[in-house]
Structure 1
Amino acid sequence: MDLNAVRTYVAVADAGRFQQAAADLAITQQAVSKRIASLEKELGVRLFTRTPRGARPTMDGQAFLPHARALLQAEERAAASVRPGRRALRIDVIGRRLAPADLLRDFHRARPGTEFDVVTLFDADAAFAAVLSGTIDASFRAVTLPERQLPEGIATARVHDEPVQLVTGPDHAFATARSVTPAELAGH
């Protein structure tokens, strides 16, 4: 279905006159008539009764009007979903029960008008590719590569240090340690 024809139909229904709809849409009255005729042909019904005072929707036209408005709203939502600055932020969080997900929840509570699309990519390479392609806006994950080895175009920023627990058996040398550094783990 031609959305320009649907938009024209709604404009005529709202204005009550083909001439006014043409002015509102910045097209000729002939273009309005052609679009309406094309839509009527596609639907197999007459949408307007033409009178000396203008045009008013037929019963079929009245039945179609809320659906036509819904089509135009769906078109706007679809376009807005990919418009930079207008679409939801697409954020990769490796696990929805980990600290980065909590950071996003806290951010959303502080700014409830901000929309998020949260995705979970389990592979860092997939996350890097998604950021580079624009599929996602950001990824929260542990990055173990040195900055110089990251793919070109990828930058990182430390946003959260998450405590990590060392789990050992009861007889291990670190079983009673209160803390252990990575250097102390070397060789174990």
Structure 2
Amino acid sequence: MELRQLRYFAAVADAGTFVRAAERLHIGQPAVSQQLARLERELGVRLFDRSTRHVRLTSAGERLLPEARAVLAAADRVRAVADDVAHETEAVLRLGSSHGLGDRLYRMLDELAVLAPGVSVRLTRARQEQRLAAVRAGDLDAAFVRVLESAPGLELVPIWREGLVVALPEQHPLAAADTVHVEQLGDLPVRLAPARNNPPFHAMITAALRDAGVDPPAGPPFTTLQDTLAEIGAAPPSWTVFYHRAELPVVRRVALRPLADLTLPISLAVLPGVPSPQLRMLLAACARVAAY
């Protein structure tokens, strides 16, 4: 198996035809067909259905494509690191992040600066699915993700767990407690964003409610944190839940209480294989922060 065969495989999958893939690769179409036929013989599976005008991935091709992309991304990373070494450039760690990581993110960056002073960090904020895609493509070295138990083509390394915060009207009886338990929230309408906006988080909250034996009525959907909190303070009683942060917002007529019995798993999404020196230092910095 050769890297060029995997590149041809990915190119045809992206282009939809052998001709267009060959044009993008700047080689002849017969060479693409020949190398893919060799790859199929070596793997013992058919990667494409060639019975239509536009070639389509077979079920085997769909399963193998993410693995091929991961191998190609790893090869690109090897070339990039080798180029950095050859030109004695500063090591760069490209890290996907998101809103809400707060103080732990800054502490991790401080720890990393101590452990690896020669590593420069470039943070990229994006939606979780975009961060995962960027790691698969080799555009990011790692990305923080929440809740996920698996991600095709990637390894998820657990690093710490975060708490959750319940927002409810300050006049509600639960506001008098130091913490709120899931089983206490069955009667008050809940404001959750549609499942499509954040499937893992939505599934985790609904599963926790179900496991606690409660089924709160659905309230208006969660939109933005600021608007949702304002509506909880002004509209008929309801509640929502969101990621804990170092500085919690202050909203009139709204009480914020820690949610007991439920924490949020945070992981680093990375490509499988031996981690680079920068990634090893990143994991060590995360472990130090998690131990605080």
Query: TM-score, normalised to structure 1's length?
Result: 0.48
More strand by share: 2
| Structure index of larger Rg | 1
TM-score with structure 2 setting the length: 0.32
